[in-house]
Amino acid sequence: MKHTHAVTHSLITAALSTSLILVASPGIAADALRITTPVSGTIVSGELYIAGTIAGDGEHELTLQLAPQQLGECGSAVASTTTTVSARDGFSALVDTLTVADGTYCLVAVADRGRLSDVQADIRIDNEILRGFIQLPTESLPEPTDGASAIEAAVPAESGPVIAVAAFALAGILALGVAVYGIASGRRLMRP
């Protein structure tokens, strides 16, 4: 009887120890809270759409954080948002990446005061084009000659309107000449 009692006691102790290890294990916690979007290695800009699932019932307080990643390690959070989510609906959120510097980040999700967590690493933020830092190729203007630029020398600013009026007047005179020629030619053809 003593032997059976000792075996039963050992089995109960082993079961309790295993359940405590499983509850405290980050691998199990990561399965209960999972970031599904974005995936590791994604390059994002502007509004970052984050989605995922959370196991269990009821509502959970969820915090999503962006933390700079250096040498494979996640640093302190530089942007975060907290919301209450329903386990059966999953979760989704938007984070404005324009508030942080470009670089590689960890996306960290934490729920129920740290009991559940998941990390998505290698999220690359690249807002260079949105911030307007990309310089498109352009042609350079000619170098100034004799105190005025080559463009100003070719068409002085004050002569622009004069040239436009002259061009329209010349076009009008030419159109009038074509019309008179057309009428005169038509009358010659109509004579018997």
pLDDT digits (tens, 9 = 90+) for 39-80: 999 999 888 899 999 888 888 899 999 999 988 899 999 988
Q: How far apart are CA 187 and CA 97, in angstroms?
A: 76
Half-sphere CA count of 41, side-chain side, radius 13 A: 0
Tokens of 153: 């020398």
pLDDT digits (tens, 9 = 90+) for 85-135: 888 888 988 888 888 999 999 999 999 888 889 999 999 999 887 766 555
pLDDT band, residue 31 (cuts 50/70/90): low
pLDDT band, residue 189 (cuts 50/70/90): low
Q: How far apart are CA 144 and CA 121, in angstroms?
A: 53
Segment of 25-34, 98-107, 175-184 carrying the highest mean pLDDT? 98-107
Query: What's the pTM?
Result: 0.52
Closest listed residue to residue 118, CA positions, set 49, 42, 51, 47 = 51
